[in-house]
Amino acid sequence: MQKFTYQNPTRIHFGEGQIAAIANDIPKDKKVLVIYGGGSIKKNGVYEQVSAALASHEWAEFAGVEPNPQYDTLMKAVEKIRNEKFDYLLAVGGGSVIDGTKFIAAAACYEGEDPWHILAKQHTVEAALPLGCVLTLPATGSESNKGAVVSRGKDKLAFMTDKVQPLFAVLDPTTTLSLSPRQVANGVVDAFVHVMEQYLTFPVNAKVQDRFAEGLLLNLIEEGPKALATPDDLDVRANIMWTATQALNGLIGVGVPHDWATHMIGHELTGNYGIDHARTLSIVLPAVMKERRADKEAKLLQYAERIFGIREGSVDERIDAAIERTIAFFKEMQVPTRLADVKLGESDIDVLMSSLESHGMTALGEHGNITLNDSRAILEAAL
């Protein structure tokens, strides 16, 4: 296990009716801006619960944060905050709304020339507005971590800082019952690949992290298909929600190598073609597993055995079987597993390569040894 420092101060309120808890978590003297997305929260009762919880607070709202939250949209919120002197942010939505709110929190306090530099030049975030969140779409883990991904045109960039870690997160699984099957599937697949990015690398004898990661993978494989088959099962939703949070709250990632090549390549698919984030991951991951099998051999065999019970056959046979089972799980979740599934082909690879190059993605993976040529090979394997 590698040396690490870890802290996760986000207070989690989990379970039905927990939105009411925000009343006590946000100081009464704060002026709160409630930030949300396309308005689904006005249809599923979440908006009413938030309003009720904020009955004793001064607050207003900012709607319209889109999936893959756009810089220009977020900067409108920043302007509103500066003009009207809000000093607490409440994100209500999924990972995009929370990521967007994190950027808004940092940009509102940014004193440099251009807040875009927080992302494009990785400028240090010296301060940010305090923020909390009400999660309605389990997937990204953003509700209790310090990272955020923001888009501007074809650029999809990330930043990380303790300053934007939510102070609290409400996880009420009943809020997820109104999600579409596509949103549910995307969330499960996103969480699954988050675990894989931190697990499927090379062994460093980190047994807690491995066992926890494997537990989360097993949960998603068991519960994901159930969420599609029996969409009213609240227990299933609760387990998926808590699993997705644990998948990217930092815990399984301490003291171990990380990959993230699938995400970096996937971001270009979203940036250039607008493909849902999770669906880029389900296309790219199987190709990464195939192409990087030498680097990942030991963990691929461990994954094969502990997740799918695959113990028979040669090394290659066991790895092939594990990749096939992964693809089968993605198909069960009704997400694409090849570029052809989203109508992309050979000719699109040059576009993606040019984006990867312009974003400096020349040394990806847990060893930093995935060159542009290797990324091309991965994309070709995903055709």
Give contact residues for a second copy (rule: CB under 8 A).
Answer: 1-18, 21, 205-208, 210-212, 214-216, 218-219, 222-223, 235, 238-239, 242-243, 246, 254-255
Minimum CB distance to a second copy smaller for 4 or for 313? 4
Judged by beta carbon, residue 225 or residue 255, the one nearer a second copy is 255
CA–CA separation, 277 vs 26, rounded Å?
Answer: 32
What are the DSSP calls for 70-111, one per residue? BHHHHHHHHHHHHHHT--EEEEEESHHHHHHHHHHHHHHH--
**Of 223 and 320, which has the nearer Cβ to a second copy?**
223
Least Cβ distance, residue 205 to a second copy (angstroms):
5
Q: Which is nearer to a second copy, 10 or 73 (CB)?
A: 10
Which lies closer to a second copy via its Cβ, residue 21 or residue 300?
A: 21
292-315 burial code (b ≥16 CB/10 A, e <16): bbebbbebbbbbbebbbebeeeee
Question: Residue 16 Cβ, how far from a second copy at the closest point, in Å?
Answer: 7
Q: For 252, which DSSP code?
A: G
Nearer Cβ to a second copy (21/90): 21
Q: Which residues make Cβ contacts (< 8 Å) with residue 104, sequence separation at least 6? A: 35, 74, 77, 78, 81, 89, 129
Q: Minimum Å distance from CB 30 to a second copy? A: 19
Which of 50, 1, 52, 58 shows the shortest CA–CA distance to 28? 58
**Eight-state DSSP code of residue 233:** -
User: Exposure string (b/e) for 318-349, b if CB count within 10 Å is 16 or more?
Assistant: bbbebbebbbebbeebbbbbebeebebeeebb
Min dist CB 181 to a second copy, Å, is 21
- Least separation in angstroms between residue 204's CB and a second copy is 9
Question: In whole angstroms, how close is the CB of 235 to a second copy at the nearest point?
Answer: 5
